[in-house]
Amino acid sequence: MSKRKLTNALVNCLSSGDKVFIPYIMAGDGGLDQLKERVLLLQEAGATAIELGIPFSDPVADGPTIQQAGERALKVDATLKNIIAELEGIYQEIHIPLVIMTYYNPMLSYGLSNFAQDCERLGIAGLIVPDVPYEESDILRIALRETDVALVPLVSLTSPKERIVKIVNAGEGFIYAVTVNGITGTREKFNKDLVEHLKSIKELSNIPVMAGFGISSPEQVEEMTSMADGVIVGSAIVEAFHKKDLNKIKILVKASKRKIIS
């Protein structure tokens, strides 16, 4: 498989003159019956793709806002199996790529082969697994080999140059450039080395580079889209849905529009 479906959607967005905006939501937060409404709202608001978080009891990369959303989702039995079942009824209405963000254990419990096949059948375009480093990703790559599901890599601020080269060369879908050291969550300012970090990744990559972690305001969206091909916004979107502040979501998405010349 070429693994181009996710990349193509992002490139098409960039070609139109916009930057990419990928909101993160926690599946099951607010109830599984809210999943369709939230995905379709983000699609209508202009999201380029949607990152769909799977709740997990030990979310090592998640900050307080997303951890709390995961806890709320787990209380309503938002297991990976139940989330996939919910997607069965709505995937034909989703016209932008869905990217699942999960940890390794839920996939292992589901069965890697079964999970890969179900993702392919439902049109899932990408997979992000924060607790599976590049050096240990072969088993996932094998499971996804016969699908068009891209295994999206994360590159941290502390990754040495030689490791970044390997990760980027093996990257699929897009490169997830982590903009902070530590877990997700809102930030008031970013590391002074971030500009050079994003620039070096973009120079190495032949697929789009997304900046993520800590981006929570329209101003930060604009700042990050000046350095990367787009942004991933998680905690701010999760909090806005929890507080039913749908206007904030639309403002965040709008901040990514018409930032480059086609």
The answer to whether 238 and 55 have CB atoms below 8 angstroms apart is no
Tell me which residue of 32, 41, 22 sits closest to 126, measured CA to CA: 22
Domain 5-253 indexed as CATH 3.20.20.70? yes
The model's confidence at residue 185, banded by pLDDT at 50, 70 and 90, is very low
pLDDT in tens, 81-115: 999 999 999 999 999 999 999 999 999 999 999 99
The residue with greater pLDDT, 58 or 20, is 20
Tally of CB atoms within 10 A around 62: 26
Tally of CB atoms within 10 A around 40: 14
The model's confidence at residue 32, banded by pLDDT at 50, 70 and 90, is very high
Average confidence (pLDDT) over 140-150: 96
**Which residue out of 18, 29, 62, 229 is catalytically annotated?**
62
| Residue 144 scores a pLDDT above 80 | yes
**Which residue out of 29, 51, 148, 229 is catalytically annotated?**
51
pLDDT at position 179: 87
The model's confidence at residue 261, banded by pLDDT at 50, 70 and 90, is very low
Residue 11, sorted as left (phi over 0), alpha (psi -120 to 50) or beta, turns out to be alpha
Active site residue 33: no
The model's confidence at residue 188, banded by pLDDT at 50, 70 and 90, is low
The rounded mean pLDDT for the chain is 92
Active site residue 51: yes
pLDDT at position 50: 98
| Residue 258 scores a pLDDT above 70 | no
Domains of the chain, residue spans: 5-253
